[in-house]
Structure 1
Amino acid sequence: MRNPAFEAGRLTSRFSPYVIRVVAICYILSLLAPAPPRVYPEPPQSVLTMHPLVCAHTRLTDEVEDWKVQQTLQLVREMGATTIVELFPWAYIEGQRDAFDWHHPDRIIEMAHNEGLQVIARLGIVPAWARPDPNKQPTTLNYLAPNYYEAYGEFVAAFAARYRGKVDRIIPWNEPNLTFEWGDRQVTPEEYVQFLKIVYQAAHAANPDVIILGGALAPTLEPEDSPVAMNDLAFLRRVLQAGGGASMDALAIHTYGFTAPMDDPPSPDKLNFRRFELLIDVMKTFGAEKMPIYITESSWNDHPRWTNAVTPGQRVEYTLEALRYVEAEWPDVRNLCFWYFRAPTLTRSYPDYFAFVTPEFRLKPIYEAVQAYARGWKTEVP
């Protein structure tokens, strides 16, 4: 009678030398693999540009390797952009209450500063300790109950104090007129004003020079009673009616071209690039026409099959027209920031076609066109 255990032992002893050899070979090959490129600090750089309006929305949040962060920021500078917008997640920095880990923002801000780039910081993503117990109430990473507004304000204050002189423009939250961005809670402009007031006071107490950018609203035609979003014009109007203008130093605007050309005129029932003018009209109605404007998200997409995309040639044409138009007609707009510069990985869907640079650092035609414009180079591009 055959003993299965005995047979298994014979097989193990027979193949163990081969297993050892395979493991040894794998180990040796791992030693031979090239190390990641080292990051050597450059001498401080300056941005060479003819058009300081140009700004890039970077996505360095989940970029692990320092050399990729550095190369991304170098390419932003070489494109002629003066400014970046970057998300700094609250959850990454204050993973435990009152215990801060500043490594992530320190490295990005220091590298950006060394490249001569200005930074607009977007602060969001709620840590687990500031959200309900998931076993009792499942929530998203954007969920922030009113009883934690003070905690978020303290975080913004700590950020503003730490980076005073290097990061003096902060966007608290993002697109609060979208239910998803508001933590799957009912969107209410009046509650956003309460939130903004707490943040504004805390930030200015920590850094009197800080510029708080309110708004950053998503362009949408949803009605005021929609369960998924609120029309951005209606939302801003109610924010100002509730006194929200006193708790912002500037207005952040998101405006996308979708399939319309740059010169498509604005209308309350249309989503196009020039919709930002309607938001400025709302500001004027409430006597805030002198408030600085930052377009912190804008772009056209050139995916070959997405219904909201244009061709690569149209994207270049519309983008350059937008830069010329804003610079000539809207001097109160301080930056036009394009979504987005580069992401660490591909989604293999339409979002990849917003990028100016691929994850492998291949420059797209839109990069080269904006670079030629910003640097004042002669070009055949329209």
Structure 2
Amino acid sequence: MLKKSGFCQKSGLLVLLWLVLLLTVGLAAQAVVVTHQTRTRGLPEGFPAPVAEADVPILGVNVALEQYDDEEGEELEAALTRIVEGGFVWVRQSFYWSQIEPEPGHFDWAVPNRILAALARHPQLRLVAVLDDRPPDPPADPDRFAAFARAFAARYGDRVDYYQVWDEPNLAAHWGGGPVNPPAYADLLARTARAIRAADPEARILLASLAPTVETGPQNLSDARFLEQLYQAGAAPYFDVVAGKPYGFDTGPDDRRADEAVLNFSRLLLLREVMVAHGDADKAVWASQWGWNALPPGWTGAPSIWGQTDEPTQAARTVAALERARAE
């Protein structure tokens, strides 16, 4: 009886140990699942194959190369050399309709000629040509803007592969003072994309970069809601890449909250979810502008609407954000 009792005690202990082990493994597995879901917001593992324009260099810079207008071109050349030395590949440059075509049918190609010629001397750089206007009012005649875009593509299509149609149409400041109008932008995009592709069949069209905002209209509209309404308006065939601006604001790149009420680096997940919901998972979403704001020491002006940090934190967050982008 003593031996049997001892055996039972040992058996009970083994069962208990197995239960503890299984519970520990189960909790660990659950922790992995929760961590994964937090990291990916429940999206499928990895990208479906293939995703167009996903396997591209990730480093780029937004530029205003028109400011370098010395006759010798040395300032422009120096600027591009610094970009190359910094390890950047993409340059995102705006070309303004009202500057290039100040009167209907009368084109002044001097600025884009100078920029494109300089870029040709640095073949490792890739241009995203943003076709926009200044002031950023929506065209009264979308067909005229589309004609301008076609003329641009016909002239530079052998040197430009990526065209972006407008910028931040979900903000009143970039849509004639508002209210914003997703169907109207969808119409502008469709006309312009058809015109560009007619002149440059190999063109890749980027959706206008959508600004991060938690507002719900009518003046400014959440980037995710604006994208949803673009799909409802039938815009999907007219862009190859979705673009957003996931500024970090007040938190670092490890802030994984993907919430329409939160402005952070994870905000592109909201756009991705809209794309997946509309069967557009085979397209990529690009971050055309992102980062953290660091004002000079002793700044006494107005606080930044983009959040504020110091330069060491800015640098650390930038590096961490690039590591996250490469990993995910």
TM-score, normalised to structure 2, is: 0.77
Aligned to 1:105, which of 96, 107, 112?
112
> Does the Cα contact within 8 Å between 1:217 and 1:254 map onto a contact in 2?
yes
User: Aligned pair 1:192/2:181, yes or no?
Assistant: no
* Cα deviations by residue, 1:307-359 (Å, 9 ceiling, x for unpaired): 51111111111111111111221xxxxxxxxxxxxxxxxxxxxxxxxxxxxxx
- Matched with 2:199 is 206
Q: Which runs of 4+ in 1 moved over 6 A?
A: none
> Per-residue deviation at 1:145?
4.3
Q: Unpaired segments of 5 or more residues in structure 1?
A: 1-50, 127-140, 330-382
Give distance in 2, aligned partners of 1:241 and 1:299: 31
> Per-residue deviation at 1:294?
2.2
> Does the Cα contact within 8 Å between 1:179 and 1:185 map onto a contact in 2?
yes
- Matched with 2:320 is 321
> Per-residue deviation at 1:210?
0.8
The alignment partner of 1:279 has SS state of: helix
- Matched with 1:222 is 215
* Cα deviations by residue, 1:162-189 (Å, 9 ceiling, x for unpaired): 1113111111111000111011132111
Give distance in 2, aligned partners of 1:210 and 1:145: 22
Instruction: Give the letter for the 2:312 counterpart.
Output: G
User: Aligned pair 1:264/2:258, yes or no?
Assistant: no
User: Aligned pair 1:61/2:49, yes or no?
Assistant: no
Structure 1 residues 107-122: aligned runs within 5 Å: 107-116=114-123, 117-122=125-130
Give distance in 2, aligned partners of 1:215 and 1:197: 12
The alignment partner of 1:144 has SS state of: coil
- Matched with 1:14 is none
RMSD between aligned residues: 1.5
> Does the Cα contact within 8 Å between 1:212 and 1:248 map onto a contact in 2?
yes
Give distance in 2, aligned partners of 1:237 and 1:224: 14
**Kindly, what percent of the aligned residue pairs are identical?**
30
> Does the Cα contact within 8 Å between 1:268 and 1:278 map onto a contact in 2?
yes
- Determine which structure has greater relative contact order: mean sequence separation of CA pairs < 8 Å that are 6+ residues apart, divided by chain length: 1
Give distance in 2, aligned partners of 1:190 and 1:220: 19
Instruction: Give the letter for the 1:90 counterpart.
Output: W
User: Aligned pair 1:276/2:281, yes or no?
Assistant: no
User: Aligned pair 1:253/2:261, yes or no?
Assistant: no
The alignment partner of 1:96 has SS state of: coil
Instruction: Give the letter for the 2:250 counterpart.
Output: T
Instruction: Give the letter for the 1:144 counterpart.
Output: P
Aligned to 2:157, which of 164, 182, 207?
164
The alignment partner of 2:189 has SS state of: helix
Instruction: Give the letter for the 1:97 counterpart.
Output: P
The alignment partner of 1:217 has SS state of: coil
Q: Unpaired segments of 5 or more residues in structure 2?
A: 1-55
Give distance in 1, aligned partners of 2:274 and 2:76: 38
> Does the Cα contact within 8 Å between 1:215 and 1:236 map onto a contact in 2?
no
- Matched with 1:293 is 285
Instruction: Give the letter for the 2:138 counterpart.
Output: L
The alignment partner of 1:98 has SS state of: coil
